[in-house]
Amino acid sequence: MFTGIVEELGDIVAVEPLADAARLTIRGKLVTSDARHGDSIAVNGVCLTVVDVVDGDSFTTDVMGETLKRSSIGTLDQGAKVNLERAAAVDSRLGGHIVQGHVDGTGVIVSRDPQENWEVVRVSVPDGLARYIVEKGSITIDGISLTVSGIGAETEGEPGHLDWLEVSLIPTTRELTTLGSAPVGTTVNLEVDIIAKYVERLMQRG
């Protein structure tokens, strides 16, 4: 489990294609400092398992084909910046919200609206996720715990139809995460609030 509070920006050192998979080498001095084989580290919001620690500041991880297809991890090249977070410790504060590191889908940054002290970023919402997204609710974008500041649809559709969501980035988020500099057109990983999915499941059974 994670909290969506990014600990550091890492770098993709190498990408090794495998049969229906890929092995990534990722540099992140902080998250690697106490990493061991089998530990979980969220990379752009995707929970990945440490295979080896390299030179004390990097780790390797294997990404299976399903993850490559369902997330933006498969589009990363050598030199790309990534958001990194170690698994939450049971004795630490939950600074964000409950994040599993299981990507529900991907969206695309469709606009950026910089203000004096913050920036509003609009992201497209894929079919099937709209019902889990509410204004002022939680959303994870590329591993970052954020509050949904706005929702909307470009055209009239069915009740509850949703084309986009907006989040507002404070200076710290802009400076310390990939979302701060990601251009319009960038594909991002989305994970909705797990509580919403549990509530839906319970209502269906009731």
CA dist., res. 102 & res. 42, Å (int): 10
Which of residues 18 and 161 earns the better pLDDT score? Answer: 18
Q: Mean pLDDT throughout 179-201?
A: 91
Question: What was the pLDDT predicted at 10?
Answer: 97
The CATH number given to 8-86 is: 2.40.30.20
Residue 43, amino acid: V
Q: Where do the structural domains in the chain lie, given as residue ranges?
A: 8-86, 105-205
Residue 93: is its pLDDT beyond 80? no
Question: Which distant-in-sequence residues (6+ apart) come within 8 Å of 68 by Cβ?
Answer: 21, 22, 74
Confidence class for position 116, pLDDT limits 50, 70, 90: confident
* Among the four given CATH numbers 1.10.3720.10, 1.10.8.10, 2.40.30.20, 3.20.20.140, the one describing domain 105-205: 2.40.30.20
Q: Mean pLDDT throughout 78-86?
A: 97
Question: What was the pLDDT predicted at 202?
Answer: 84
Confidence class for position 94, pLDDT limits 50, 70, 90: confident
Do 118 and 168 touch, CB atoms closer than 8 A?
A: yes
